[in-house]
Amino acid sequence: MKGKISMGSPLESGTMFMAVAMLSRAFGWQFFDDLRQNDLIAAGGNSSVMNRMETRERPIGIVLLENILKAQKKGSSIGAIYPPEGSVAVPSPIAILADTRQPELARKVYDWFFSDEAQKAIVKAGLYSPFARIVPPMGAPAWDKISPHAGSLLRWSPEVLSELYEKKDEMKRQFSQRMMSR
């Protein structure tokens, strides 16, 4: 595996930060130290990981599923491996600013995002819907099949999210010291 793996930088990509946060939470920083032993590249965002896989510079990557699904539509031969421990979910929150100038309009947009129409559009773009009634994106298994089992440290919850938010600066610092310094 040496010289074969790449991932993005959690300093540059929010989704990559989420992956680093959950993986370090579940497996400790030793997990990343081991990856470092394999001469991992940690730079750029999801699209640069995709590019390194497509060009076989680094054929294995830690990347968003939506990027893989999109690439497959274009004829890419990249496939997804779902880890048996479960996949990291990257929630996409939605909120209305307290001081918004258009509260009614914002509310309408907010509500629309929870409609079937919006959820189907989101799924079409390669993301999972949080609602069980909406089928998973084309080419992807049901979320139940790949989600971490109950009690797993990889499992997402609002409490976990606020814990990660507290520690975000510290985690970025840990990562940059372990993975990016020489």
Partner 1 sequence: MSGYLNALSWQWVLDATIRSLAISVVVALLSGFLGVVMAWVVTRTDAPGADILGGVLSVPYAIPAYLLGMAWVVLGNPQVGLLKAFFPSSGSYGFWGIVFVETSVAFAFPYLELKAGFERLDAAFEEAARMSGATPGRVFRDISLPLLWPSLLNGMILAFLYSLSAFGVPALLGLPVRQFTLTTLIYSQLKLGGGSGLVGGFALSLLLLCIAAVGLVLSSRVSRSKSLSGGKSSHQTRVKLGRWRAPVSAFGWGFFGIAVILPWIALALSALAPVAGRYSPRLWTLEHLGYVLKLQDFREALVNSLFLAGAVATLITFVGFSLGFLAVRRRQGWASVIIQALGLPFATPGTVLAMGVLFVAVVCARFGMPINEPLLMMAAAYGFKYAAVAARSLVTAFSQVDPVMEEAARVSGANTAELLWTIWLPLLRKTLLSAWWLGFLPMLTELTMSVLLTGPGAATLGTVLFELQEYADQPSAAALAWLLLTAALGVGLMSIKRGDWSFRKSAS
Contact residues toward partner 1 (CB under 8 A) are 6, 9, 11-12, 41, 43-45, 47, 50-51, 54-57, 70-71, 74-76, 168-169, 172-173, 176-177, 180-182
Residue whose pair of structure tokens reads 């949080």 in the numeric block: 130
**Residue 166: how many other CB atoms lie within 10 Å:** 10
Nearer to partner 1, 12 or 85 (CB): 12
Please tell me the distance from the alpha carbon of residue 50 to that of residue 9, in angstroms, as a whole number.
13
How far apart are CB 82 and partner 1 at their closest, in Å?
22
Is 9 or 147 the residue whose CB approaches partner 1 more closely? 9
CB of 85 to partner 1, least distance (A): 27
Residues contacting 141, CB < 8 A, separation 6+: 82
Which residue lies nearer to partner 1 by CB, 44 or 148?
Answer: 44
The residue whose two tokens read 């990509």 is 13
Strand partners, 62: 7
Q: Which is nearer to partner 1, 67 or 147 (CB)?
A: 67
d(CA 59, CA 27): 23
CA distances from 179 to 3, 58, 102, 104, 176 (A): 14, 17, 44, 46, 5
How far apart are CB 50 and partner 1 at their closest, in Å? 7
Bridge partner list, 6: 41, 61
Q: Which is nearer to partner 1, 25 or 178 (CB)?
A: 178
CB 176 within 8 A of CB 17: no
Minimum distance from residue 29 beta carbon to partner 1 (Å) = 15
| Least Cβ distance, residue 54 to partner 1 (angstroms) | 4
